[in-house]
Structure 1
Amino acid sequence: MPFYNGTLFEIDRKEMLRYAGTNPKGTDFPKEAVDRAVETALALAEPRGIWQILPYSPSEGIVEGNPPLTLTGNSIRHHLANSWSVAVLAVTVGDEIEKESDACFKAGDYVQGLLLDAAATAATEHLADQVDGLIQKEAARDGQRTVWRFSPGYGDWPVTQQNEFCRLIEAEKIGVQVTDHSMLFPRKSVSAIIGISQCTQRPAPAKCRTCWMKDCRFRS
């Protein structure tokens, strides 16, 4: 199972500010505060990832891991309908950024706390993109393509499968665990599955169209 010790040289400020709930022009926060949050997040991040490619039965919705995992929910089964193998992955940037963000909130520095939290979220997504890129290259060696990644909780794939899914990935090897409420810890972590097929091109992600959270402020 490949491990990935990711590298974060920069954090996408546009994405970071979107997660912070800024206006489209990004003028809600002083540039100095944004820069300070980015620098702090980069210094505290502990990027790690793990992934592997496994056989998949689209007719039964079974990922052939150890133990096998039967996926539940129509959206994930539909998403992987043309895939005969899948890549499963987990990434995290650790919990040091979150600890610093919490410390800022407790000290009354709410702007810095919010920006640090948003920076950590953007960094986690960037790390997931890096691992996604490795999986695309691996699939391409066999003349295959990947479909965009899908996480427990998307669409009607119940987040309650998170625990089983993370056992399949062996996410604990990078320090990622699942809480009693099926949330990941450290909180700035992502788990996902990526379908691999003979499709001629990688479909564009339809993230918001598959999600039941119609009133989400990040919805596009």
Structure 2
Amino acid sequence: MAARARALAAPALQYRMVPLPRIGECKVNDEQILISPGAEAEKVLSSSVALLPVLLTMGPQFDEETDRLRSRGEMVEALFFETAGWMSLEGTTKSFTTWIRERIRVQGYTLTRRLAPGYGTWPLSGQRDLFGLFGTAALPVRLSDSFLMTPKMSRSGLFGLMQISR
């Protein structure tokens, strides 16, 4: 299953840096966007000078293969395949975080931990605000009216960028 998951993986990533004049408020394409991640996340972001929203997907092939396995009654295989997909997504997330951390470090910044709608005090409906941080950019992930992402094997997140004290 791991080999099949690797063969089907087509990771796509979208991220951008959004200046943060004050916590909870930022501008995208001259449009005011309010981010309300909840008290816990606001504490994490309180020293940030910018936000770094991230969308990552392994592609629609994972949904299609999982559906195909289930339709053939191969439930255990579908579970293992889906698990391999989530492990791939986790590995790709860690690789991106390491890469972006190094890239911004040389510019004098560091990252907060990754925050995400649906975790801690940030409600899942915060997905709408997070997606809004990308403005009109074409995204590799779609958001449903119930705030779920398609393809399913996708992850959203938000980092804060803080200046490194010298």
TM above 0.5, yes or no, is: yes
Match of 1:61 among 7, 10, 24: 24
Residue deviations 1:115-142 (CA, integer Å, cap 9, x gap): 1111111112222222222321222012
TM-score (norm 2): 0.88
Structure 1 segments (4+ residues) deviating >3 Å: none
Higher strand proportion? 2
Per the alignment, residue 107 of structure 2 pairs with 142
Per the alignment, residue 128 of structure 2 pairs with 163
* SS in structure 1 at match of 2:51: strand
Amino acid at match of 1:190: R
Residue deviations 1:19-78 (CA, integer Å, cap 9, x gap): xxxxxxxxxxxxxxxxxx1011111111110111121134x4213323332121212211
Alignment of 1:76-87 (within 5 A): 76-87=41-52
* SS in structure 1 at match of 2:113: coil
Q: Is the 8 A contact 1:41 1:97 kept in 2?
A: yes
Amino acid at match of 1:187: K
Asked whether 1:123 is paired with 2:74, we answer no
In 1, the alpha carbon distance for the partners of 2:88 and 2:26 equals: 28
Asked whether 1:43 is paired with 2:7, we answer yes
Amino acid at match of 1:63: C
In 1, the alpha carbon distance for the partners of 2:137 and 2:28 equals: 16
Q: Is the 8 A contact 2:108 2:164 kept in 1?
A: no
Asked whether 1:96 is paired with 2:65, we answer no
Per the alignment, residue 197 of structure 1 pairs with 162
Shift of 1:188: 0.8
Q: Is the 8 A contact 2:115 2:159 kept in 1?
A: yes
Q: Is the 8 A contact 2:50 2:162 kept in 1?
A: yes
* SS in structure 1 at match of 2:118: coil
Bigger relative contact order, structure 1 or 2 (CA pairs below 8 A, ≥6 apart): 2
Q: Figure out how many residues of one structure are paired with residues of the other and give that number.
A: 163
Q: Is the 8 A contact 1:98 1:120 kept in 2?
A: no
Per the alignment, residue 138 of structure 2 pairs with 173
In 1, the alpha carbon distance for the partners of 2:131 and 2:118 equals: 13
Shift of 1:95: 1.6
TM-score (norm 1): 0.68
RMSD: 1.9
Unaligned stretches of 5+ in structure 2?
none
Shift of 1:199: 5.0
In 2, the alpha carbon distance for the partners of 1:45 and 1:76 equals: 31
Deviates more, 1:180-189 or 1:123-132: 123-132
Of all paired residues, the percent bearing the same amino acid is 23
